[in-house]
Amino acid sequence: MKEITIDYALRATWQAVARMYNEEAKKFGSTMAVGFTLLSIDPKTGTPSTSLGPKMGMEATSLSRILKRMEEQGLIERKPNPQDGRGVLIHLTDFGLEKRNDSKNVVLRFNETVRSRVSQESLDGFFEVMNSINEMISEKIIQTNDNTINGQKTD
């Protein structure tokens, strides 16, 4: 049997989680992307539109389409940023807050289910590995485009 690569396990698992979240979101007439956006907006003070994309790891064009659809659905409203007259804050409407709570409950149930079936030791190891991978990527220790790993050529 071939060994499963780390990136394959990450991708396959995330795709399964995303499918599960999308199935749950359908029950509320929504999508995972909308739920994630609702959870990324500060429910009290709003969130600058320019910081949402980086916070969510999304391109501006994709986020712009989601925000437009959310505004049409009455989930969000755009207000001028009082600290920056040129900027816009994204605020949740009452309906958006309600749907945010639905999204939050789904995420919390998922976490509770995983925590009830996976030991704390295993979860600690999982988070340690995820943090290590993210650190290596941010420090550019892992480079796949020039046969370099940890700064060493690997021909």
Residue length, the chain? 155
Mean pLDDT across 82-111: 93
Q: List the beta strands (DSSP E) in the chain.
A: 47-48, 76-81, 84-92, 142-143, 148-149, 152-153
Give me 84's structure tokens: 């920056």
Give me 125's structure tokens: 């190891």
- Most confidently modeled range among 49-58, 93-102, 134-143: 93-102
Give me 59's structure tokens: 């391109």
Residue 104 pLDDT exceeds 70: yes
Question: Which option is the CATH number for 6-117: 2.60.40.10, 1.10.10.10, 3.50.50.100, 1.10.1740.10?
Answer: 1.10.10.10
Q: Between 147 and 33, where is the model more confident?
A: 33
Q: How far apart are CA 76 and CA 99, in angstroms?
A: 11
Q: What's the pLDDT band for 141 if we cut at 50, 70, 90?
A: confident
Q: Can you say how many angstroms the Cα of residue 106 is from the centroid of all Cα atoms in its chain? A: 14
Q: Are 76 and 18 in contact (CB under 8 A)?
A: no
Give me 67's structure tokens: 């925000």
Mean pLDDT across 51-61: 89
| Closest C-alpha to 35, from 24, 46, 50 | 24
Coil, strand, or helix at residue 5?
coil
Q: What is the pTM of this model?
A: 0.80
